[in-house]
A and B are shown apart, each in its own frame.
Chain A
Amino acid sequence: MTQTPVLSVRNLVVEIPTRHGVLRPVDHVSYDIHAGEILGVVGESGAGKSMAGNAVIGLLDRPARIASGEILLSGQPIHALKGDTIRRLRGKKMGMIFQDPLTSLNPLLTVGDQLTETILEHLRVGQTEARKRAIAALEEVGIPAAAQRISSYPHEFSGGMRQRVVIALALCAEPDLVIADEPTTALDVSVQAQIVALLKRLCRDRGVAVMLVTHDMGVIAEAADRVAVMYAGRLAELGPVREVLTNARHPYTAGLMASTPLASQGRKRLRQIPGSMPRLGALPSGCAFHPRCEFAQEQCRNEPGPTLDRCDGRAACWFPLTTDQKVSA
Chain B
Amino acid sequence: MSALISVRDLTRVFDVSKPWLNRVIERRPKALLTAVSEVSFDVPENSVYALVGESGSGKSTIGKIMVGLVPPSNGSVKIEGVDLATETDQSKIEAVRDDIQMIFQDPFASLNPRWRVRDIIEEPVSAKGRRTSGLAEKLLEQVGLSAADAGKYPHEFSGGQRQRICIARALASEPRIIVCDEPTSALDVSVQSQVLNLMSDLREELGLTYLFISHDLTVVQHMADVIGVLYLGRLVEEAPRDRLFNEPKHPYTQMLFDAAPRMDAFGREIDPPKGEIPDAINPPPGCAFHPRCPLATDRCRTENPEMRNIGTTRVACHHAQ
User: Is there any pair of Cβ atoms, one from A and one from B, under 8 angstroms apart in the complex?
Assistant: yes
Interface flags, B83-100, vs A, CB<8A=1, else 0: 000000000000000000
Select one of A190, A197, A218, A255 contacting B54, CB under 8 A.
A190
Tell me, in angstroms, the Cα distance from A143 to B268 when the chains sit together: 24
Q: Hey, which chain A residues are within 8 Å of B218, CB to CB?
A: 218, 260-262
Q: A272 and B190: CB pair below 8 A?
A: yes
**In the complex, chain A residues whose CB is within 8 Å of the CB of B54:** 188-190
Q: Cβ of A269 and Cβ of B261 under 8 Å apart?
A: no
Q: Which residue of B lies closest to A267 (CB)?
A: B222
Complexed CA–CA distance, A273 and B160 (Å): 13
Distance in angstroms between the alpha carbons of A219 and B196 in the assembled complex: 22
Q: Is the pair B263, A217 in contact by a Cβ cutoff of 8 Å?
A: yes
Q: Which of under 10, 10 to 19, 20 to 34, or 35 or more describes the interface residues of B? A: 35 or more
Residues of B within 8 A of A219 (CB): 261
**Known A-B contacts A188-B215, A259-B190, A276-B158; A160 and B276 likewise in contact (beta carbons under 8 Å):** yes
Residue A257 is within 8 A (CB to CB) of chain B in the complex: yes
B190 touches A44 (CB 8 A): yes
CB distance from B260 to the nearest CB of A (A): 5
| A192, B194: Cβ atoms closer than 8 Å | no
Does any Cβ of B come within 8 Å of A270's Cβ? yes
Q: Are A221 and B222 in contact (CB under 8 A)?
A: no
Q: Are B266 and A189 in touch, CB under 8 angstroms?
A: no
Interface 1/0 per residue, B206-239 and A, CB below 8 Å: 0000000001111101100000000000000000
Nearest-CB residue, chain B, relative to A159 = B55
Query: Which residues of chain B come closer than 8 Å to A160, judged between CB atoms?
Result: 276
Q: In the complex, A269 Cα to B198 Cα: how many Å?
A: 9
B261, A45: Cβ atoms closer than 8 Å? no
Q: Is A285 close to B, CB under 8 A? A: no
Contact of B189 among A44, A158, A196 (CB under 8 A): A44
Docked pose: A277 CA to B255 CA in angstroms: 36
Known: A221-B266, A245-B266, A272-B194. A193 touches B259 (CB 8 A): yes
Partner of B196, one of A189, A256, A261: A261
Which residues of chain B are within 8 angstroms of A257 by Cβ–Cβ distance?
263
Beta-carbon contact of B276 and A276 below 8 Å: no
- Inter-chain contacts of B200 with A (CB < 8 A): 268-269
Interface 0/1 of A272-287, CB less than 8 Å to B: 1100110000000000
Please, which residues of chain A bring their CB within 8 A of the CB of B222? 261, 264-265, 270
Give the nearest-CB partner of B275 in chain A. Answer: A190
- Interface flags for A191-212 (1: CB within 8 Å of B; 0: not) read 1111011001000000000000
Given A190-B256, A276-B160, A222–B261 Cβ distance below 8 Å? yes
Asked whether, in the complex, the Cβ of A263 is within 8 Å of the Cβ of B276, the reply is no
A234 within 8 A of B: no
| Contact assessment for B263 and A259 in the assembled complex, using a CB-CB cutoff below 8 Å | no
Are A242 and B188 in contact, CB atoms less than 8 angstroms apart? no
- The reply to whether B188 and A218 form a contact with Cβ atoms under 8 Å apart is no
> In the complex where A261-B219, A272-B197 touch, is A215 in contact with B262 (Cβ < 8 A)?
no
From known contacts A255-B190, A261-B218, A276-B191, infer whether A192 and B263 are also in contact, taking CB-CB under 8 Å: no
CB-CB under 8 A from A216, the residues of chain B are: 261
Expressed in whole angstroms, the minimum distance between the Cβ of A269 and any Cβ of chain B is 5
Residue of A nearest to B219 (CB): A261
Taking CB atoms, residues of chain A closer than 8 Å to B193 are 259-261, 264, 270-273
Verify if A161 is at the interface (C-beta below 8 Å from B). yes
Asked whether any CB of chain A lies closer than 8 Å to the CB of B25, the reply is no
Chain B 182-204, CB-CB to A under 8 Å as 1, else 0, gives 00000011111110110011000
What residues of B have a CB within 8 angstroms of the CB of A270 in the complex?
A: 193, 196-197, 222
- Residue A241 CB within 8 A of the other chain: yes
- Which interface residue of A218, A225, A241 has the most chain B CB atoms within 10 A? A218
Q: A222-B267, A262-B263 are in contact. List 9 more A-B contacts (CB 8 A).
A: A44-B188, A218-B265, A222-B261, A246-B264, A259-B189, A262-B218, A262-B262, A270-B193, A270-B222
| A interface residues with partner B (beta carbon < 8 Å) | 44-45, 158-161, 188-194, 196-197, 200, 215-219, 221-222, 225, 241-242, 245-246, 255-257, 259-265, 268-273, 276-277
The 4 closest A-B pairs by CB, nearest first: A218-B261, A193-B259, A44-B188, A188-B54
19 contacts across the A-B interface (CB closer than 8 A):
A44-B191, A159-B55, A189-B217, A189-B261, A192-B259, A215-B188, A218-B263, A221-B262, A222-B261, A242-B266, A260-B193, A260-B263, A262-B262, A262-B263, A264-B222, A268-B200, A271-B193, A272-B194, A276-B161
